[in-house]
Amino acid sequence: MIPIPIEETGLEVRPFAEYRVIVDARTPKEFDEDHIPGAVNFPVVDQDEFAAVGTLHRTDPHAAYRLGVGYALRRMSTQMDQLLPMLDATDRVLVYCFRGGKRSALWADNLRTIGFKVDVVRGGWKRYRRWVLASLQELPKAFQYRVISGPTGAGKTRLLHALEREGAQVLDLEAMARHRGSLLGDLPGVPQPSHKFFDTLVFQRLRTFRQDRPVWVEDESKRIGAVQMSDAMYEAITEGSMVRVDAPMNERVRLWHEDYGHFEADLPAMVARLTKLNELVGNAEIKHWQELAKAGQAAELFERLMTHHYDPAYARTARRHRPGYDALPVLQLESLSPQALQVHARSLLATGVDLPSVPRAQNGA
């Protein structure tokens, strides 16, 4: 893990891993938006109670504090029964709230009374968030990146996973974003994290990497669904060396069936989500997609989407950001089976890169 002296974080606490439990005393809504990884949410008040206390505070601060403490004591009496089984008598606990104020103090005071060693995040989540943002402007620059590029369905993500199984340092941004990075990239039933928690996940992952080893990552747009990388993260990746891959169309279509199979139950609805592309591909092409969808020809539709939209769009973007993209040798993945990808992963790691890679042109050219 990248060492970051505690005094430099401004949080005035020990490394998070040294705490048996990290208690987030904020509301569930605040917790869902972002939290320290590994924290457990034991809210002093819920969202409605928090709002009620805030409203009353505008006219009668004393009554608001009385109301808030009443809410807190009733709630914490139940939550203590959930928290205490997680702890041994000698464990150290970390507590935080939004600014490190009254909600943190309620938990800290009670736990200290019982005899636990308790630290409170100085400045609360707000200071933690500032630390994450500041770190994401510098930490990404500490690594050398190997960027897997290639058209949609060419097995980039699966090759990345194979590399990770072989012990490579892998930054899987799509997994953290819970999105495949296109108009059809949302995962059914899986909401994306908030932008703030995505930042937290990227930051925490980067801290686990060693600087003397490359980081493997998939070529991504800056925005992945509703979230996006920090400027420094995106720039560091685009300046990495690139390994370009491709696969036979029948293998790519097979992967589409696996990764986008949930659309096959209603192909017209899938195409309806793509109608905003009419300025790029033209109304005639959209109409052809609609006809394939209506006929239930999923394989033909998937192939047509790749050859007439995704492949040209990806190539345009790649050439814009890397003028030498077309000159890159292509690693042909003749099979996208797990066994074949594992062989390629071992080869890539054994040779540094399996084939020459060309860095991105300087100055954004």
Q: Which fold has domain 144-364?
A: Rossmann fold (3.40.50)
State the Cα torsion 278-280-282-283 to the nearest 10°: 0
Provide the CB-side half-sphere exposure for 213 (13 A, CA).
15
Contact 152, 255 (CB under 8 A): no
CATH architecture of 6-134: 3-Layer(aba) Sandwich (3.40)
Can you give the pLDDT at residue 364?
A: 34
Can you give the pLDDT at residue 7?
A: 45
Can you give the pLDDT at residue 361?
A: 41
Q: Which residues are catalytic?
A: 97
Q: Using DSSP bridges, classify how beta strands 227-228 and 215-218 pair: parallel, antiparallel or unpaired.
A: unpaired
pLDDT tens digit sequence for 172-181: 999 999 999 8
- Tokens 């030498």, located at residue: 324
State the Cα torsion 107-109-111-116 to the nearest 10°: 130
Q: What share of the chain is helix, strand, coil (3-state, %, to 5)?
A: 55, 10, 35
Can you give the pLDDT at residue 71?
A: 80
First to last CA, the chain: 33
Of the candidates 9, 4, 38, the residue with the CA atom closest to the CA atom of residue 24: 38
Can you give the pLDDT at residue 64?
A: 80
Write out the two tokens for 226. Answer: 């509703």
Burial class of 236 by CB neighbour count within 10 A (0 to 12, 13 to 18, 19+):
buried
Of the candidates 79, 81, 55, the residue with the CA atom closest to the CA atom of residue 68: 55
Can you give the pLDDT at residue 4?
A: 52
Where does CATH 3.40.50 sit in the chain? 144-364
Can you give the pLDDT at residue 269?
A: 94
Rounded Cα distance, 261 and 192, in Å: 19
Rounded Cα distance, 38 and 40, in Å: 7
- Ranges in the chain, pLDDT < 70: 1-10, 352-365
Where does CATH 3.40.250.10 sit in the chain? 6-134
Can you give the pLDDT at residue 365?
A: 28
Contact 195, 133 (CB under 8 A): no
Of the candidates 121, 40, 48, the residue with the CA atom closest to the CA atom of residue 82: 40
